[in-house]
């Protein structure tokens, strides 16, 4: 066989793989700090789970690029706001994804952004900053060489990544790389260490000892829903979780086994959380009468969608089937859904518990509980509620070393691919605002390293960024 050479499609100071909130903000920030930047994204727009995956949850800006994004989404008319006034009976409704634990009648305000509009706007922001974006481009592999001894010792250094595009296999060379894949795929392909998803359950919950990843989910949107009619049925038929209509459809063999179970069924998989049991779970989205619905992978299936082709394919196939069956059931059996239609199914089946890189520092729940102080803190002490230990509030710092995977000296972590233990990442540190912040920090670190002519691992981080 003659040797085949892979053409170099581009070369840049900073190469970012994956354009979720983390990769997007990293690329934007590095470009704004005058680096040449290439961004590689599998789908047709940035935003990851929040755009291609339809998540779209919005909220007040937390500073930096996140605040800018929220403002630009609002200016473009892409933010939808709903409240107990617009949706009477939503607070405390057991079908509500976010508001179900509230006391009925509680006043609240929630916002979401239009995923497709937001994705296009984010793409425009990258263009404005001069980022070269390869969309429809799959990252396949990393070419790793040994780093010069005088720089970081026995570390490897990524020279290029191999991608697959409409032009075939191509290479992209760079000085600094950022893993924005959400599942630490670049970490894995470059030989840096990671822990596989599926670490277990929160302390205190019943657990049979089998390691199953926290299930991922496929989100979809239905429009034409009459919530007040649905609510009337819940009240009049005394059927708050729709158990009666589910039983009726099950008896008529109109829904496949396992499609629904009563919410959490008393066998809570993740404490009081919603994940793990397919159930009717929805939230207003885009405009009145339109709702996003969650279709989570059943917990028992124990799918590793990030590293098993079979599991990834099974999840996509089965969840699409569930959505089809759920839409049919809702329209036929549930008052308020008679005229509802499927409007959109996410392109992206989100993974909540993929690979967790082992970095120069692995941030754990203990660090939050003990308020560990870090000389290389990237943020001022921030306060967040950790769900893992019983909804407890902690004030904590995060070190720059959690952005640095072991073994590779020119790779930075961001978003859901940080060097955190899985309970930290799942329960607290993977939401849209924080992932955008970590991207901005990674982009800043990349640009500083390029300017100083050193790998990110040698960069000294002495001042919090946020
Ligand atoms: C089902 C679900 C529901 C969630 N609900 C909420 C919520 O309500 N609120 C909230 O704030 N957060 C929520 N999250 C969490 C949040 O969406 C994620 O943690 C966050 O999007 C992670 O950001 P990221 O940038 O690390 O990666 P992602 O958003 O996962 O983006 C990764 C990007 O990398 C690309 N990519 C991956 N592999 C490759 C490859 N090989 N080649 C090219 N491109 C690649 C993907 O296409 C994607 O665009 C949810 C997550 C899931 C899965």
Give 291-348 pLDDT, tens digit per residue: 999 998 888 888 999 999 999 999 999 999 999 999 999 999 999 999 999 999 999 8
pLDDT band at residue 266 under the 50/70/90 scheme: very low
Q: Which residues pair with 139 in a beta bridge?
A: 163
pTM exceeding 0.85: yes
139 lines ligand 1 (CB under 6 A): yes
> For position 425, what pLDDT does the model report?
84
405 lines ligand 1 (CB under 6 A): no
> For position 271, what pLDDT does the model report?
53
pLDDT band at residue 385 under the 50/70/90 scheme: confident
Nearest CA to ligand 1 atom 52: 350
456 lines ligand 1 (CB under 6 A): no
19 lines ligand 1 (CB under 6 A): yes
217 lines ligand 1 (CB under 6 A): yes
Going by C-alpha positions, the residue among 382, 462, 378, 381 that lies closest to residue 412 is: 378
> For position 137, what pLDDT does the model report?
98
Q: Is 268's pLDDT higher than 80? A: no
How far, in Å, is the centroid of ligand 1 from the Cα of 369?
A: 27
Question: DSSP characters for 122-173?
Answer: HHHHHHHHT-EEEES-EEEEEEEEEPPHHHHSS-EEEEEEEEEETTEEEEEE
Domains, the chain, with CATH or none: 8-75+117-196+355-458 (3.50.50.60), 85-110+206-345 (no CATH)
pLDDT tens figures, 182-223: 999 999 999 999 999 887 665 555 666 677 888 899 999 999
> For position 255, what pLDDT does the model report?
87
Average pLDDT, rounded, for the chain: 92
- Which atom of ligand 1 has the smallest separation from the CA of 296? 1
> For position 460, what pLDDT does the model report?
96
Alpha helix (H) ranges present in 164-226?
185-189
Q: Provide the 10 A C-beta neighbour count for residue 454.
A: 18
What is the rounded average pLDDT of the residues 270-286?
A: 74
> For position 127, what pLDDT does the model report?
98
> For position 168, what pLDDT does the model report?
96
49 lines ligand 1 (CB under 6 A): yes
Contact 29, 466 (CB under 8 A): no
* Helix, strand, or coil (residue 292): strand
Q: What percent of the chain has pLDDT over 70?
A: 92
Query: Which string of b and e fits 26-43 if b means at least 16 CB within 10 Å?
Result: bbbbbbbbebbbbbbbbb
pLDDT tens figures, 409-446: 999 999 999 999 988 888 788 899 999 999 999 999 99
pLDDT tens figures, 137-150: 999 999 999 877 66
Q: What percent of the chain has pLDDT over 90?
A: 78
Mutate to test the pocket of ligand 1, among 23, 96, 181, 414 (most ligand atoms within 8 A of CB): 181
> For position 276, what pLDDT does the model report?
63
pLDDT tens figures, 219-231: 999 999 999 999 9
What is the rounded average pLDDT of the residues 76-81?
A: 98
Q: Tell me, what DSSP letter sits at residue 278?
A: -
- Which atom of ligand 1 has the smallest separation from the CA of 163? 42
pLDDT band at residue 265 under the 50/70/90 scheme: very low
Residues in the chain, total: 466
pLDDT band at residue 261 under the 50/70/90 scheme: low
52 lines ligand 1 (CB under 6 A): yes
Going by C-alpha positions, the residue among 457, 415, 447 that lies closest to residue 66 is: 415
How far, in Å, is the centroid of ligand 1 from the Cα of 461?
A: 27
């Amino acid at each position: 066989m003659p040797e085949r050479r892979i053409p170099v499609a581009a070369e840049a100071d900073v190469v970012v793989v994956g354009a979720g909130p983390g990769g997007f903000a990293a690329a934007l920030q590095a470009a704004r700090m005058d680096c040449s930047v290439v961004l590689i994204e599998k789908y047709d727009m940035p935003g990851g789970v929040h755009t291609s995956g339809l998540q779209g949850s919005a909220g007040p800006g937390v500073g930096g690029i996140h605040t800018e994004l929220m403002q630009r989404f609002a200016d473009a008319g892409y933010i939808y706001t709903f409240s107990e006034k617009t949706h009477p009976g939503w607070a405390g409704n057991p079908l509500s994804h976010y508001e179900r634990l509230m006391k009925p009648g509680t006043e609240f305000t929630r916002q979401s952004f239009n995923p497709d509009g937001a994705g296009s706007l984010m793409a425009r922001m990258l263009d404005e900053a001069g980022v070269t974006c390869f969309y429809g481009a799959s990252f396949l592999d990393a070419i790793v060489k040994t780093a010069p001894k005088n720089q970081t010792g026995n570390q490897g250094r990524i020279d290029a990544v191999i991608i697959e595009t409409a032009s075939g296999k191509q290479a992209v060379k760079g000085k600094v790389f950022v893993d924005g894949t959400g599942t630490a795929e670049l970490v894995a392909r470059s030989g840096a260490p990671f822990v596989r998803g599926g670490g277990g359950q929160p302390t205190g919950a019943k657990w049979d000892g089998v390691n199953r990843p926290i299930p991922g989910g496929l989100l979809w949107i239905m429009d034409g829903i009459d919530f007040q009619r649905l609510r009337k049925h819940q009240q009049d038929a005394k059927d708050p979780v729709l158990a009666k209509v589910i039983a009726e459809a099950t008896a008529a063999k109109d829904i496949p086994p396992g499609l629904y179970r009563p919410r959490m069924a008393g066998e809570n998989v993740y404490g009081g959380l919603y994940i793990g049991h397919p159930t009717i779970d929805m939230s207003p989205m885009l405009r009145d009468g339109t709702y996003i619905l969650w279709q989570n992978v059943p917990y028992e299936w124990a799918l590793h969608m990030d590293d098993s082709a079979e599991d990834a394919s099974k999840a996509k196939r089965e969840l699409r089937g569930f959505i089809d069956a759920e839409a049919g059931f809702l329209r036929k059996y549930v008052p308020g859904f008679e005229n509802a239609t499927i409007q959109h199914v996410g392109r992206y089946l989100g993974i909540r518990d993929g690979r967790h890189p082992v970095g120069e520092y692995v941030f754990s729940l203990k660090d939050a509980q003990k308020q560990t102080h870090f000389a290389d803190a990237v943020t001022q002490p921030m306060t967040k509620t950790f769900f893992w230990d019983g909804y407890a509030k902690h004030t904590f710092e995060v070190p720059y070393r959690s952005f640095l995977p072991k073994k590779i000296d020119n790779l930075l972590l961001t978003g859901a691919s940080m060097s955190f233990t899985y309970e930290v990442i799942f329960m607290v540190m993977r939401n849209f605002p924080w992932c955008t912040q970590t991207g901005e920090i990674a982009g800043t670190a990349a640009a500083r390293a390029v300017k100083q002519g050193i790998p990110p691992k040698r960069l000294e981080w002495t001042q919090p960024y946020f």
